[in-house]
Structure 1
Amino acid sequence: MTYYIHADKFFLENMTTEGGYLEIQDNGQFGYYYSEQEKPAGKIVDYPGKWIAPGLVDTHVHGSLKEDVMRSDWDGINHLSEGFLQSGVTSWLPTTYTAGADTLSRICQMFGDHRGEETGAKIQGLHFEGPYFTAEHAGAENPKYLLDPDINQFNQWREESKGLLNKISLAPERKGSREFIRNVVKEGVIVSLGHSSADFEQAAAGIAAGATMFTHTFNGMPDPSHHAPSISNAAMALHNVTDELICDGHHVKKEMVRALIQLKGPEHIALITDCMEAGMMPDGDYMLGELPVYVQDGMARLKSNDNLAGSILQLKTAVKNVVDWNAATPEEAIMMASYVPAKSAHILDKCGSIAPDKDADFIVLNPDMTLSETYLSGKSRYKA
């Protein structure tokens, strides 16, 4: 049955409104938005004092709830998709780590074979973080699997995923990267640059070849320099690119978060979590792919060298953080965690905003930016 959401504020695709009514059609999709003066006839679900925003979109996430994209079976992946509703996430790109070719093939086949079967947050693609990285900035990636880009191998993985593999992060200084980028972009794949020692010119060449993003900006790359500009400087300076950003306060300090958002504008920042299996779990020992990790004081670190190893961040927390840090307004924070990541991953037609005939995936927020409720396809699926 069609019904209407009434709340104090709505974060629509093109504007933020005070009050009104949002139509949720009986097919589980959004209909029209009506102003306070246009009260519709029909069932009204009232949320006094609450704000309505699009469901969050995490385009770079490895796991949570002791589940891991690299090691979980399909039941585990579905458990993960259900769990993400607690984070306000309604769409996501399962993200791999650098691994052997056979392992990556197995993962592609699993996601391809079960496409569309998840019952929680919707899988809108598959993101390969690696294996085309540089050892110097491998971070928590396993260096023994690092390779130069191979278009034939990548196309095999795409085929095994039944076309679900739609994003790859790579280091632009690897041999053959420009040709690889140009070719996969023609096929509709999004290329993001990261885990790289590239200087400014190498990064700019990757963008000129067709890459459109930077992977967890400032992490897995040299620091910005005013004498020897690096890939970090390129992420700050180049136009019409999207910078991923982990806003847990550990990966990038809040002062630098504020600076990057101010410099690039929120329309070019995609909030991500880079969360690993310890997300929503207690401190202790975990695994990141094949590498042992310990979690303490809100951080996941490799046991071998103490490098940061992904995060335990939830996307709803990143949204609240950038507002609490005065790095963004609530409107900008929501945009950076929904519209921008969806647009950057070429899935804005499916998710990322409140607009007619899109799936009614949305969240109910308190004015302090904490999550109250998550809806998926027009049905309430999680209450805080």
Structure 2
Amino acid sequence: MTAARIESAALPRGTVLAGARLVLPGGVVENGRLVVDGTRIAAVTGVTDAAAGAAGADGGGAAGAGDLDLAGYTVLPGFVDLHVHGGGGASYASGIAEEALRAARTHLEHGTTTTVASTVTGEIDEVARQAHVLSELVEDGVLAGIHFEGPFISHNRCGAHRPDLLRDPDPALVRKLVDAARGHAKMVTLAPELPGGLESVRMLAELGVIAAVGHTDSDYAKTLEAIEAGASVATHLFNAMPGIAHRAPGPIVALLEDERVTVELINDGVHLHPSVLDLAYGTAGASRVALITDAMGAAGMGDGLYPLGPLQVEVRNGVAMLTDGSSIAGSTLTLDVAFKRSVTVSGLSLTQAVESLCAVPARLLGLDGTVGSLEAGKLADLVVVDSATHDLVAVMRRGEWITGGERFATVPAP
């Protein structure tokens, strides 16, 4: 496959976005200025809120002639999703390139400018075939990598994965899927307590692929062993794993307490009670939390029936469940909604939300040199939201408007 791309509208070189609130690594800039030159951010100017308060200064100034006037809007880095199965009625596990493009486009229009495509449990050869298709989209720049969720997971915690297709994480089988991704495997979720689990964690760490603990029946001690072996992510923490008991802390406590572990959280109001989200942030902090969607094909769509790998899912009132009612089956979440919920319901600051939606996953993927924050030299991947409502307004990827850019007027010369 060649030249797979998503249509967009390029900006003139040296375009200035002015007058906006900018969420930067060091804090929030009011009335800032951001220069886009080609695919990159050329400059960011303004004084962060903390520095402005100390110095009595403000940001970079109002829009001038030729600038795009973004007064009343907030500019964030493009969102980075580590864990997403589909959207727009399409699934990454279909093994069909056109479906994968549709899913990527759906989430891109909701602000996810960097996507790792997640598969679901299937026959090993079929998942390997899917990986081959997805790897071509990585090479075309549509996707940032591949995440294998299943089949190396616990029968007791399989959730929306077909039980008869589950396999122990034999290192040879794990390596087969990694090799099928042609160097683009970013993460493998597995249950470390299963035969071959720890050996596979070690192998993945040696290969530079993230080993994630998830869909597991592991206890506290075995989870610690997995972390020592190289596991560095908790797949949708709290979901599909034993809960916390006072004499059996289980995997959750082990994953939360170790500073080497990044924890995924699904902030959709369905997967986690608000107090549980608060517990995770209070223990791990925003610097170790990656907010994900775990979205399936219904994201960006309405209620109805949808496939999730070999299983069928029914979505009612935006909640995805297996048709037999036995398990939540991913989400219908998009990251713009996760952002708004994080700052309006969960009480996160703008900088905390951006850290968990952008900087943390970018760093985990080794992409923090190019995405994940608004800094000169990085790709011009931007999300624009209304400063008052936090609703999505526009999305830019690599210096090109994907949606919403037409609303910003160029300031005329006096």
Q: Same fold (TM over 0.5)?
A: yes
Q: Does 1:25 align with 2:37?
A: yes
**In the alignment, which residue of structure 1 is the partner of 2:226?**
206
Residue pair 1:63, 1:80 contacting (<8 A) in 2 also = yes
**In the alignment, which residue of structure 1 is the partner of 2:109?**
86
Contiguous gaps of at least 5 residues in structure 1:
none
Rounded to whole Å, the distance in 2 between the matches of 1:135 and 1:283 is: 28
Q: Would the alpha carbon gap of residues 327 and 169 (structure 1) be closer, same or farther in structure 2, given more than 3 Å must change?
A: farther
- Aligned pairs for 1:225-304 (under 5 A) are 225-304=245-324
Residue pair 2:379, 2:398 contacting (<8 A) in 1 also = yes
Residue pair 2:87, 2:104 contacting (<8 A) in 1 also = no
Rounded to whole Å, the distance in 1 between the matches of 2:271 and 2:249 is: 20
Rounded to whole Å, the distance in 2 between the matches of 1:307 and 1:154 is: 26
- Aligned pairs for 1:4-43 (under 5 A) are 4-26=16-38, 28-35=39-46, 36-37=59-60, 43=66
Q: Does 1:140 align with 2:160?
A: yes
**In the alignment, which residue of structure 2 is the partner of 1:46?**
69
Deviation at 1:278, TM superposition (A): 0.9
Deviation at 1:38, TM superposition (A): 7.6
Secondary structure at the counterpart of residue 346 of structure 1 = coil
**Larger of the two Rg values belongs to structure:** 2
Secondary structure at the counterpart of residue 337 of structure 1 = helix
Question: Deviating runs (4+, > 6 A) in structure 1?
Answer: 38-42
Rounded to whole Å, the distance in 1 between the matches of 2:180 and 2:153 is: 22
Which residue among 177, 190, 215 is the counterpart of 1:157? 177
Aligned CA RMSD, in angstroms, stands at: 1.9
State the one-letter code of the partner of 1:11.
Answer: V
Deviation at 1:150, TM superposition (A): 2.6
Deviation at 1:286, TM superposition (A): 1.5
State the one-letter code of the partner of 2:70.
Answer: Y
Deviation at 1:267, TM superposition (A): 0.8
**In the alignment, which residue of structure 2 is the partner of 1:356?**
376
How much identity, in percent, do the aligned residues show?
Answer: 29
Normalised to the residue count of structure 2, the TM-score between the two structures is 0.87
Residue pair 2:35, 2:43 contacting (<8 A) in 1 also = yes
Which residue among 387, 390, 393 is the counterpart of 1:369? 390
Residue pair 2:41, 2:380 contacting (<8 A) in 1 also = yes
Q: Does 1:75 align with 2:87?
A: no
**How far does the alpha carbon of each residue in 1:194-213 deviate from its partner, in whole angstroms, 9 at most, with x for none?**
10011111111111111111
Deviation at 1:24, TM superposition (A): 0.8
Deviation at 1:365, TM superposition (A): 1.1
Rounded to whole Å, the distance in 1 between the matches of 2:137 and 2:352 is: 35
**How far does the alpha carbon of each residue in 1:16-53 deviate from its partner, in whole angstroms, 9 at most, with x for none?**
22222111113x11112123458899842110111111
Deviation at 1:240, TM superposition (A): 2.7
Deviation at 1:135, TM superposition (A): 0.3
Rounded to whole Å, the distance in 1 between the matches of 2:73 and 2:197 is: 47
**How far does the alpha carbon of each residue in 1:131-156 deviate from its partner, in whole angstroms, 9 at most, with x for none?**
11110000111111222223333333
Which residue among 84, 104, 107 is the counterpart of 2:127? 104
Rounded to whole Å, the distance in 1 between the matches of 2:373 and 2:242 is: 34
**In the alignment, which residue of structure 1 is the partner of 2:347?**
327
Q: Would the alpha carbon gap of residues 348 and 42 (structure 1) be closer, same or farther in structure 2, given more than 3 Å must change?
A: farther
Residue pair 1:190, 1:211 contacting (<8 A) in 2 also = yes
Rounded to whole Å, the distance in 2 between the matches of 1:101 and 1:72 is: 13
State the one-letter code of the partner of 1:90.
Answer: T
**In the alignment, which residue of structure 2 is the partner of 1:223?**
243
Rounded to whole Å, the distance in 1 between the matches of 2:138 and 2:288 is: 29
Q: Does 1:59 align with 2:70?
A: no
Q: Would the alpha carbon gap of residues 263 and 115 (structure 1) be closer, same or farther in structure 2, given more than 3 Å must change?
A: closer
Rounded to whole Å, the distance in 2 between the matches of 1:176 and 1:290 is: 25
State the one-letter code of the partner of 2:312.
Answer: P
Rounded to whole Å, the distance in 2 between the matches of 1:92 and 1:48 is: 29
Aligned pairs, how many?
Answer: 380
Residue pair 1:7, 1:46 contacting (<8 A) in 2 also = yes
Residue pair 1:7, 1:51 contacting (<8 A) in 2 also = no
Residue pair 1:181, 1:191 contacting (<8 A) in 2 also = yes
Which residue among 397, 402, 410 is the counterpart of 1:381? 402
**How far does the alpha carbon of each residue in 1:88-107 deviate from its partner, in whole angstroms, 9 at most, with x for none?**
11011000001111111111
Normalised to the residue count of structure 1, the TM-score between the two structures is 0.94
